[in-house]
Amino acid sequence: MTGASSLLEVADLTKRWPGAGAPAVDAVSFAIGAGERVALVGASGSGKTTLARLVLRLLEPDRGTIRFSGRDFLALRGEALRRTRAELQLVFQDPLAALDPRRRIGAQLADPLRAHGLVPRAERPAAVGALLARVGLDPALAGRFPHELSGGQRQRVAIARALASRPRLLVLDEPVAQLDVSVKAQILALLDRLHREEKLAWLWITHDLGSARIASERILVMDAGRIVEEGPTAEVLARPRAAATRALLAAELRLPPSDRVDQPLTAPSVSPRTM
Amino acid sequence: MSPALARFARDRAALVAAFLLLGLALAAAAAPLLWPVDPDAVGGPPLLRPFLDPAHPLGTDRLGRDVLARLLHGARLSLTVAVAAAAASSVLGAAVGLAAGLVGGRIDDLLMRITDAFQTVPGFLLALAFVSVFGPDARSVVLAIAASAWTGPARLIRAEIVALRGRDFVLAAIVAGLPRRDVALRVLLPNALPPVVAYAAVSVASAVLIEAALSFLGLADPNRASWGAMIAEGRAVLVSEPWLSILPGLALLSTVLAVNLVGEGLNEALAPRRARP
Amino acid sequence: MSLVPLLELSGLSVRFPAEPRPVRALDGVELELLPSERLVLVGESGSGKSTLLWKIAGLLPEEAEVTGSCRFPALGRAPVPGRDVGLVLQDPFTSLNPVLSVGEQIGEVLVTHRSASWSAARQAAVVLLRRVGIPEPERRVDDPPHRFSGGQRQRIAIAIAIAAGPRLLLADEPTSGLDTVVQAQILDLLDGLVREQGAALLLVTHDLAVASRIADRIAVLYAGTLVECGPAVRILSDPRHPYSSALVAIARALEAGRIDALATVRASPGEPEAAARGCPFAPRCAFAFARCRVERPAWSGDRRAGVACHLAVP
């Protein structure tokens, strides 16, 4: 998947925090093809989030290159950078923190439409309504404030905002980690549908192998700032080579196999006393 | 009714204080109509006690001037000067704080060192110096108070901006492609402003006090009735005729208290709402 | 069995006064916990699982309106918080006092509840820190919380909770702020400690995988009502309430990486809230029929196992 066809190409990317010993991101190289779904997994402190911020240029690296759609992304400045951001979007872990508490949902969804001149002013309310509908929300929510929505609704809004500028690559930083199980399932299904409909590529950052299994074809395993293992998700998780991958797999909490029927089926003490 | 206003209305103390201030402001504004007596004219016998003569309900001072008229006109001066000073110091402070927080780097350092320098001089001394140089008219009192009070809002708004800059929703606005100006004015400023608004309300109270203190020391316009000057004049006869100091003192106390309560109420009401856990 | 339950909840309801109408956080919960039993309460946000835990810990705010009973029969008296009941909270970054050393925070419990001297309490703190797996406890007992990692802080919070040897350990999402590797370690630590001490454990989580690692029994809450309760193995292999079975199906689909199996629960119309009548889950239930919307299903079972669903065979 590397080479001229790659949508995103990262090489030798390095970032050291001032005063820190080891770099947070240490000579990382990888590529994502158009429409490809890649997971980036690792324990907390492995440098996943720093890498995401570097890729989005919310942080400047000490060293390395980023090519996006064939352009030198790190060389872009000012207006050119702002324009290119339309194609490279971000979804945060905590949707409540990612939405401005003082502005209505509609205004926040209109931001990218206005910033990139995608929709004339008069048509923006309709476009905002269509965005909400696309992520399975009632267009009437445009008039609400973020704190008036449930966690799942907020994450849908954040996804709608990321999709508004028709990006080619989405960086998702633990997008379902803070959500309830049933909501998590809905958001995973929504993103899967959007990937199929829009040929969206993504870099899905998580410490949870369950969502990596569902949300990626290829997986990058990060440990202490470096990528220690890389390959097709199913293959890497079935035959892990790096110690970090094995540690993640060993720690994964799983339900007991469902065919196990060694049940002491009735309650241990159906005492008449309690009836 | 906006949610913030509704929350403010639920705070009983702040609501009562707001109505009290509103009443005071209206009375001050309408003083010539409500009680058409010249506050500077000698209209009766000197040192008339309150509640004795319906022509002078709150009595007269040492020169026989009507105390009620002087209180109302004093309110005009106190409130105008205080509100103007608080507004001036907030606007100046917000501009400096916003510039420092947004631009960062050397500009930030420079602006903050200037702020430090102003803060090391006690505000009242600065105001004193200012008035003694520029003369005791109302405008220089406003400038004097503003010159000593702008550092508070400047530091406050800079700290808010710096804290907000790393927040997810600000990063999200940058990633969404908002131009820098929009990020500053639509996202950062509205979120940084509420504590400054609350602070401005409270700084009205301190401006009222500084103005009174300057008048008390005879450093304000001697030709206009002012609460501070009334207290100072009453001091000469404090033992025999205490009401001459007590009445303007009460006016000062209740105004400052009301302004503080309103400020507190605003602070609570403007805090961003978070969802229930 | 003639064991006297350690904890017995009977018709427990909690309401919070609010505008425009009070919020019903818990509605008629029937539950018991035997000494040294490990019960996991599973529920999503708004299910009332934290309210239930707070009620048992005695932490409900004054304005909460509580009906029904919450008793400790095996204790024979009201529990002393911190001594009879220990509590571990979700966020180890805020649950520890940043200005006291970890030794002082553990010692404080022993001085208060076990009348220990401060020097004895410090010795005991070292032992407890070792027991919860903090390396070199002699050297680290005087360190403040910020010198420890997130996982270590949660271990310290657990040391504080078990210091006085409580009969019941309560844990509110103790692993959800931690990453996968640390999560499993903390659960195993909790499991080992309650076994050693013979204490009962009541753990609250939204994650069935967490429950499966540690639970003897699982109780599933939805919108303030108990919808199913029973032995963990049975709930995980043969859930009877549509909501529990959806949770199990989703957890299995996530494990298997099967996206097609995810859409088993309808989107919530908003925050779940106890309906005045009818089954609270009916608006999201794939199997709901007319009766579900008008008649609330009664709890069939006892305080140890049961289900509340018109479709479920008791």
b/e burial code for range B239-251 (CB count within 10 A of at least 16 → b): eebebbbebbbeb
pLDDT at residue C47 is higher than 80:
yes
Over residues B24-71, the pLDDT tens digits come to 889 888 888 888 888 888 888 888 888 888 888 888 888 888 888 899
**Cβ atoms of C292 and C278 closer than 8 Å:** yes
Q: Are residues C127 and C197 in the same domain?
A: no
Does C150 share its domain with C174? no
Check whether A5 has a pLDDT greater than 90.
no
Question: Residue A261 has what pLDDT?
Answer: 41
Asked casually if ipTM beats, i.e. exceeds, 0.90, the reply is no
Closest CA to C260 of C268, C245, C250: C250
Range of the domain at C120: 80-165
Chain A CB contacts of B270 under 8 Å are none
How far CA A93 is from CA of A96, A152, B27, in Å, comes to: 9, 12, 55
Compute the distance between CA of residue B250 and CA of residue C238 in angstroms, rounded to an integer.
76
Are C233 and C250 in the same domain? yes
Domain end, chosen from C165, C191, C212, is at C165
- How many interface pairs between A and B have CB atoms less than 8 angstroms apart? 72
**Please, which residues have CB within 8 angstroms of residue C18's CB and are 6 or more apart in sequence?**
none
Tell me: do C98 and C200 sit in the same domain: no
Residue B6 to residue A17: CA distance in whole angstroms:
45
Maximum C-alpha span of chain A: 76
Contact between chains at C262 and A189 (C-beta distance less than 8 A): yes
Q: At A273, is the pLDDT very low, low, confident or very high (cuts 50, 70, 90)?
A: very low
Place of tokens 């630590």: C189
Structural domain count, chain C: 2
In a domain, A262, yes or no: no
Strand partners, A9: A31, A67
* pLDDT for residue A230 is more than 90: yes
Contact B78, B255 (CB under 8 A): yes
Structure tokens at A222: 């990060």
* Two tokens, residue B157: 């708004």
Which residues of chain A are within 8 Å of residue B178 when distances are taken between CB atoms? 111, 115
Question: What CATH number did the domain enclosing C103 receive?
Answer: 3.40.50.300
Set of chain A residues whose Cβ sits within 8 Å of the Cβ of B167: 97
**Which of the listed residues C116, C140, C165 is the one where a domain comes to its end?**
C165
Is C298 within the bounds of a domain?
yes
Q: Is residue C94 part of a domain?
A: yes
CA distance A167 to A92: 16
d(CA A154, CA A136): 12
d(C-alpha B202, C-alpha B200), whole Å:
5
* Cα B21 to Cα B12, B24, B29, B75, C154, distances in angstroms: 14, 5, 12, 11, 52
Q: What is the CATH number of the domain that holds A208?
A: 3.40.50.300
Residues C54 and C94 both lie in one domain: no
* Structural domain span for residue A119: 6-253
Pairing mode, if any, of strands C200-205 and C38-42? parallel
Over the stretch A45-59, which tens digit does the pLDDT of each residue have? 889 989 999 999 999
Query: Residue C1 falls within a domain, yes or no?
Result: no
A262 pLDDT band, cuts 50/70/90, is very low
Does residue C272 share a domain with residue C211? yes
CB contact under 8 Å between A58 and B179, yes or no, is: no
- Asked whether residue A150 is assigned to any structural domain, the reply reads yes
CB contact under 8 A, B173 and A100: yes
Is C21 among the domain residues? Answer: no
What dihedral do alpha carbons A232, A236, A238, A243 form, nearest 10°? -170
Of A189, A234, A262, the CB nearest to C263: A189
Q: Which pLDDT tens digit goes with each residue over C203-217?
A: 999 889 899 999 999
- How far apart are the C-alpha atoms of A138 and C180, rounded to whole Å? 35
Classify residue A270: in a domain, yes or no: no
Amino acid making up residue A264: P
Distance in angstroms (rounded) separating the CA atoms of residues C16 and B86: 41
Q: Is residue A127 part of a domain?
A: yes
Provide the residue count of chain C: 314
- The mean per-residue pLDDT over the stretch A153-167 comes to 94
Is C65 among the domain residues?
no
Radius of gyration of chain C (CA): 20
Shortest alpha-carbon distance between residue C118 and chain A (Å): 36
Q: Identify the three-state secondary structure at position A2.
A: coil
**Residue A264: pLDDT band with limits 50, 70, 90:** very low
Q: Which of C145, C165, C185 is the last residue of a domain?
A: C165
pLDDT bin (cut points 50, 70, 90) of residue C314 is low
**Does residue A141 carry a pLDDT above 90?**
yes
Residue of chain B nearest A113, judged by CA positions: B176
- Interatomic CA distance for residues C72 and C9, integer angstroms: 9
Q: Do C171 and C310 sit in the same domain of this protein?
A: yes
Name the residue among A190, A186, A154, A150 with its Cα closest to residue A170. Answer: A190
- Tell whether the model's pLDDT for residue A98 goes beyond 60: yes
CA distances from B60 to B182, B212, B237 (A): 58, 20, 13
- Please compute Rg for chain B using Cα positions: 22
Residue A242 dihedral angles phi and psi, to the nearest 5°: -75, 150
Give me chain C's average pLDDT, please. Answer: 88
DSSP-derived pairing of the beta strands A88-91 and A169-173: parallel
Asked if A185 and C238 come within 8 Å (Cβ–Cβ), the reply is no
A35-53 as b/e, with b when 16 or more CB fall inside 10 Å?
Answer: bbbbbbbbbbebbbbbbbb
List CB contacts of A261: < 8 A, sequence separation 6 or more: C237
Shared domain for C154 and C189, answered yes or no, is: no
Answer whether residue C6 is part of any domain: no
What is the per-residue pLDDT for C313? Answer: 66
pLDDT average, residue stretch B69-78: 88
Taking only Cα atoms into account, the Rg of chain A, rounded to an integer number of angstroms, comes to 21
Q: What is d(CA C1, CA C181) in angstroms, rounded to the nearest whole number?
A: 38
Least confident piece of the model among A140-154, A260-274, B72-86, C115-129:
A260-274
Give the distance, in angstroms, between the CA of residue C50 and the centroid of all CA atoms in the same chain.
7
Reported confidence tier of residue C101, pLDDT bands at 50, 70, 90: very high
Beta-carbon separation of A192 and C246 below 8 A: no
Residue B205 has a CB neighbour count (10 Å cut-off) of 21
Q: DSSP string of C248-311? A: HHHHHHHHHT-GGG-TTSPPPSSS----SSS-TTGGG-TT--HHHHHSPPPPEE-SSSEE--SS
Helical pair B189-216 and B227-235, crossing angle rounded to 10 deg: 30
Chain C neighbours, 3+ Cβ pairs < 8 A: A
Q: For chain A, list the contacting chains (3+ Cβ pairs, <8 Å).
A: B, C
What confidence tens digit (pLDDT) does each residue in A176-212 have? 988 888 888 888 989 999 999 988 999 999 988 988 9
Is residue A183 one of the residues assigned to a domain?
A: yes
Average pLDDT of chain B to the nearest whole number: 85
- Output the CA torsion A258→A262→A268→A270 (10° steps): 70
In chain B, count H helices and then E strands.
13, 0
Q: What burial class does residue C42 get, using C-beta atoms within 10 Å of its C-beta: 0-12 exposed, 13-18 middle, 19+ buried?
A: buried
> In chain B, what are the domains?
3-36+61-270 (1.10.3720.10)
When CB atoms are compared, the residue of A233, A248, A270 closest to C181 is A248
Same domain for C94 and C221, yes or no, is: no
Domain presence at residue C74: no
DSSP A211-275: HHHHH-SEEEEEETTEEEEEEEHHHHHHS--SHHHHHHHHH---PPPTT------S-TT--GGG-
pLDDT confidence band for C78 (50 / 70 / 90): confident
Q: Does A171 reside within a domain? A: yes
B touches which chains (3+ CB pairs under 8 A)? A
Contact present, C152 and C168 (Cβ < 8 Å) = no
The reply to whether A271 falls in a domain is no
C75 occurs within a structural domain: no
Q: Do A188 and C259 touch (CB under 8 A)?
A: yes
Q: Are residues C149 and C263 in the same domain?
A: no
Q: How many domains does chain A have?
A: 1
Decide if B191 and A145 are in contact by the 8 Å CB cutoff. Answer: no
Amino acid at A238: A
Closest CA to A67 of A49, A87, A50, A48: A87
Task: Indicate the pLDDT class of residue B5, thresholds 50, 70 and 90.
Answer: confident
Please tell me whether residues C132 and C223 are part of one structural domain. Answer: no
Is position A162 within any domain? yes
Strands C23-33 and C7-16: antiparallel
Q: What distance lies between CA C242 and its chain's CA centroid?
A: 22
pLDDT interval class at C134 (50, 70, 90):
very high
Contact residues on chain C for A144, CB-CB shorter than 8 A: none
CA within 13 Å, CB half, B9: 6
Angle among Cα A252, A254, A260 to the nearest 5 degrees reads: 150
Residue A38 has pLDDT above 90, yes or no: yes
Same domain, yes or no: C277 and C264: yes
pLDDT score at C275 = 53
